[in-house]
Structure 1
Amino acid sequence: MPIRRRFLSIVATCAALAPLSVARAAAASQVSVWRGTALGALATMTLVHPDRATARAQLEECVREVQRLEAIFSLYRADSAISRLNNAGELREPPQELVELLSFGLALSQRSAGAFDPTVQPLYRLYATHFATPGAAPGGPPAPAIARVLRLVDGEAIDLRPDLIRLRRPGMAITLNGVAQGFITDRVADMLRAGGFTDVLVDLGEARALGQRPGGGSWRAGIADPRQPARTILELPLGSDRGALPALATSAGHGTRFGPDPRVHHLLDPHTGRSANHYLSVSVAAARATLADGLSTTLAIMSPARAAAMLRNYPSTRAYLVDASGQLTEQDTARVMT
């Protein structure tokens, strides 16, 4: 499984502390950290808790939950629920989480006039197959091939019920990669909150924070400069402190390129069948990681005017958009709505 490039970095998680493992936590700060991968992204979970054994046990339970959800949403696993749906065209008695997240994705598709569309997977497959062919044209598949595949991209051609998901056209397939990382991040954060953990940072490719970092103050995340990924273009507080939002997600085309041309990437416009290049990156801060993840993907597909109108539907949400020249602009619905 390829590891996705990261666009967020956690800043000063544990000031003056070296990286930690689940088995060893810093006694002075009672910090426990798990590191691994989730849905192809490098991942960490950080807990601040006085009892290291309790924190370790909770982290192990969270890892099991991440693995359970990967068995539902991962397109890299032939036995996952989403892969079985795509292969058969229908799935009876689907996992409740798949119904819930697909319902969210279809609602986002409707609200965005199809800029976000879970049925875009055949288009992704077309590009992957094209670029796996020696001597492939660097601009992507030819227009007739794209036009044929676009007939399969239609979120309204899905039957969705608690007991059945059906794709009504042969060859249709879905992907929830634009929201699954955020969804899993929320599930883990909610588990930790329910378990009594008040100071938490979950970073599974998208981030969500509870409470404060070790030593006090907001957790902080940096958004990478899409032109120089080792450089942080903006640093933001995460959590429940005044002025902060709990979750942050970023979408950027350069993270998953198909070929040598950086303009040909995985952020495919369901209307045109071509990569969207309105922005170099889009980051969204919101109350929940699922929403931040879905909106960052959606806004990255939309023109600036449509993106601004779309964001107004979501109060208390902020977007940070880096255009093709590298200019960063912020849109804050908390201010727009007042």
Structure 2
Amino acid sequence: MRLPLSRRRFLLMSAAACAATQVTAATPTAIWRGQALGTRADVQLVGLDREEAAPVFRAVEAELARIDTLFSLYRTDSAIMRLNREGSLPDAPPDMLALLTLTRSVYHVTEGAFDPTVQPIFALHAEAAAAGRAVDADALLEARRRVGFDQVSFDATSVRFDRPGMAMTLNGIAQGFATDRLATLLKDSGLRDVMVNAGEIRGMGNGGDAKGWPVRLPGGRVCRLENCAVATSALFGTRLDPVRQVSHIFDPSGKDVTLRTAPVTAFHESAAIADAASTAAVVMTDRQLALLKRLDVDLEL
């Protein structure tokens, strides 16, 4: 049920700032740039030149290609698209089940504010926007009946929807997951001073200058990451329907709540958790924001 638009994360961080690490002239830094789950990605390795980094970057590309087969909404053969189409996956890939396990934890901590089963609502709005019309109220009500991560069942080998017509998008956590997977791959390769940006940013080591990896945040402030990840979400970072001011982020509860319009930035050692937390925070109340401390998430509003 892939549509011309997918639910996209909005990162207000400057890619140029990510690339502008302060390393000494004597310190080689190899840089790779490419694509990850439909967004621009880059990896920086301190201490390697381009030739030394070539086999590492080939492994990075292979890992991203593998992750794309799991979570991409752009390809009909991805695991998530097969799940959305068929309603179940009896042979779900282990990494998909691992991400669903993490998703379930965030879903419960956020009292359902982070819920990837909002895809039917997203799809309905995307179809209406493509046709140049507003969403039908009855159709929207029906789509909301198919939302609820508590209606997703999975075990060590399989996943299924417990209600007909359900669908998921993991775009609110998958880019962070990809960043974490690349960071693990690089660490297992013996690299300790790296920066990974697969849609969300994670820095390991000190960036080559003992000051951390610089990342420009909304408003222009530059933070420096040392063994930490950062993710930013904004309600209108991406508009499904610019004419009707329909955002790409939806409140799963369906209640008449006021969503945050200012960017929300989340910090955590895991890019996946930072990714999900920043997405959820857009639709969370002030009381609920305090719940993110249970995940050891630091927020900047």
TM-score clears 0.5:
yes
> What value does the CA root-mean-square deviation take over the aligned residues?
2.3
- Correspondence 1:237 to 2:224: yes
Aligned pair in 2 of structure 1 residues 14, 7: CA closer, same or farther (>3 Å)?
closer
Shift of residue 12, structure 1, vs aligned partner: 6.7
TM-score normalized by structure 2?
A: 0.91
Counterpart position of 1:208? 202
Q: Which moved more, 1:188-197 or 1:49-58?
A: 49-58
Higher helix share: 2
Partner of 2:54: 56
Q: Distance in 1 between matches of 2:281 and 2:144?
A: 20
- For 2:298, the equivalent position in structure 1 comes to 318
Structure possessing the higher relative contact order (Cα contacts under 8 Å, 6 or more residues apart)? 2
2:186 corresponds in structure 1 to 192
CA drift of 1:222 comes to 0.9
What's the CA shift for 1:81?
Answer: 0.5
Secondary structure at the counterpart of residue 253 of structure 1: coil
CA distance 1:312–1:4, shift in 2 (3 Å): closer
Checking the alignment, whether the CA contact within 8 Å between 2:22 and 2:209 is kept in structure 1 is no
Whether 2:273 is the aligned partner of 1:286: answer no
Q: Report the residue type matching 1:312 in the other structure.
A: K
Change (3 A) 1:61 1:260: same
Pairwise mapping of residues 156-235 of structure 1 onto structure 2 (< 5 A)?
Answer: 156-225=150-219, 232=220, 234-235=221-222
Paired positions, count: 295
CA contact (8 A) 1:92 1:163 kept: yes
Rounded to whole Å, the distance in 1 between the matches of 2:210 and 2:22 is: 14
Structure 1: runs of 5 or more not aligned: 18-25, 226-231, 241-245, 322-338
Which residue is 1:82 aligned to? 80
1:253 to 221, 229, 235: 235
Q: TM-score, normalised by structure 1?
A: 0.81
Question: How far 1:276 moved relative to its partner?
Answer: 5.9
1:178–1:274: structure 2 CA closer, same or farther, 3 Å change rule? Answer: farther
Higher deviation after alignment, 175-184 or 162-171:
162-171
| 1:189 maps to amino acid | A
Cα distance in 2 between the residues matched to 1:189 and 1:12 = 16
What CA distance in whole angstroms lies between the structure 2 residues aligned with 1:184 and 1:15?
Answer: 22
Tell me how far 1:275 sits from its aligned partner.
Answer: 8.9
1:274, 1:207 → 2: CA distance?
33
Contact 1:251 1:296 in 2 (8 A): yes
What is the CA–CA distance in structure 1 between the aligned matches of 2:49 and 2:159, rounded to whole Å? Answer: 44
**Unpaired stretches in structure 2, ≥5 consecutive residues:** none
- Say if 1:85 and 1:91, in contact at 8 Å, map to a contact too: yes
Quick check: 2:177–2:271 contact (8 Å CA) kept in 1?
yes
Shift of 1:224: 2.6
Q: Identify the structure with the greater strand proportion.
A: 1
